[in-house]
């Protein structure tokens, strides 16, 4: 029997990882003059962002293609953050945003009463000062897959990954016998800066 995992096209996704804290706030009594009431509620949801979110997005797309073809052609290898993370966890950068309810489309009679959640305020980023060791561990989870991959995607949010060549250069050192994967670099400002940026334009 053929091991279909060996013939799959491997896609590797790595880079800067954040933990995104989405604060959902409903303000039904805003402007009423009430200082406090039990109707305006707030909920907080966390979701891995950055390279972890991009890997999740690419994996979802690959799953759709895998359903359409047999055997499943794509396997996505990305960074999987730990399941339970607190806002003071120094293994991650933490990003915060407030979400509120908005009318979906006021100009459409069909949707005039439909409300959807959208970002109201991006509050900012709490960067970790102790990210290097965590970054190295995450890289180990995908490094072994790179020589067999057809595509490597880097998500560089200018949060340290671009400067850590000691981490990613080893994984990108291909022998003359190996076929090199395609590489896509998603880069935040300043673009084409740092060691990873120099590699991209070389």
Q: Yes or no: say if 139 and 155 are a contact pair by the CB < 8 Å rule.
A: no
What percentage of the chain has pLDDT greater than the value 90?
46
Residue carrying the six token digits 């954040």:
18
What sign does the dihedral 67-76-58-122 (CA atoms) show?
Answer: positive
Q: What is the pLDDT of residue 111?
A: 76
Residue 9 above 60 pLDDT?
Answer: yes
User: What is the per-residue pLDDT across 170-180, written as a single tens digit (0 to 9) for each?
Assistant: 888 876 777 78
Q: Is the peptide bond before 190 cis (omega within 30 degrees of 0)?
A: yes
Q: Yes or no: say if 17 and 49 are a contact pair by the CB < 8 Å rule.
A: yes
Q: In angstroms, rounded to a whole number, what is the distance separating the alpha carbons of residues 38 and 119? A: 23
Q: What is the pLDDT of residue 33?
A: 63
User: What is the per-residue pLDDT across 135-151, written as a single tens digit (0 to 9) for each?
Assistant: 999 999 899 999 899 99
Q: What is the pLDDT of residue 37?
A: 67
Considering the entire predicted model, what is its pTM?
0.81
β-bridge partners, 50: 17
Mention every residue, 6+ apart, whose C-beta is less than 8 A from residue 199: 172
Residue 126 above 70 pLDDT?
Answer: yes
Name the residue with higher pLDDT: 5 or 9.
Answer: 9
Q: What is the pLDDT of residue 29?
A: 59
Q: Where are the alpha helices (DSSP H) in the chain?
A: 4-7, 51-68, 132-143, 165-171, 194-201
Q: Yes or no: say if 18 and 26 are a contact pair by the CB < 8 Å rule.
A: no
What sign does the dihedral 184-56-159-179 (CA atoms) show?
Answer: negative
Instruction: Measure the CA angle with vertex 117, ends 113 and 123; round to 5°.
Output: 145
Name the residue with higher pLDDT: 92 or 83.
Answer: 92
Q: What is the pLDDT of residue 18?
A: 95
CB neighbour burial string for 108-139, b if at least 16 within 10 angstroms, e if fewer: eeeeeeeeeeeeeeeeeeeebeebeebbeebb
Q: In angstroms, rounded to a whole number, what is the distance separating the alpha carbons of residues 97 and 122? A: 4
């Amino acid at each position: 029997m053929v091991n279909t995992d060996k013939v799959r096209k491997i896609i590797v996704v790595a880079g800067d990882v954040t933990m995104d804290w989405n604060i959902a706030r409903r303000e039904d009594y805003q402007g009423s003059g009430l200082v406090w009431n039990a109707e305006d509620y707030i909920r907080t949801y966390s979701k891995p962002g950055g390279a972890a979110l991009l890997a999740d997005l690419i994996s979802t797309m690959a799953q759709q293609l895998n359903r359409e073809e047999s055997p499943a052609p794509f396997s996505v290898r990305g960074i999987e953050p730990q399941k339970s993370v607190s806002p003071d966890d120094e293994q991650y950068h933490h990003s915060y945003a407030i979400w509120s309810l908005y009318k979906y489309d006021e100009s459409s009679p069909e949707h005039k009463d439909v409300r959807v959640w959208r970002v109201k305020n991006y509050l900012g980023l709490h960067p970790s000062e102790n990210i290097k060791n965590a970054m190295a561990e995450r890289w180990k989870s995908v490094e072994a897959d790179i020589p067999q991959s057809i595509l490597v995607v880097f998500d560089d949010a200018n949060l340290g990954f671009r400067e850590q060549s000691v981490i990613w250069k080893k994984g990108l050192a291909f022998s003359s016998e190996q076929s090199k994967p395609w590489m896509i670099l998603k880069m935040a400002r300043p673009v084409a800066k740092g060691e990873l940026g120099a590699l991209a334009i070389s």
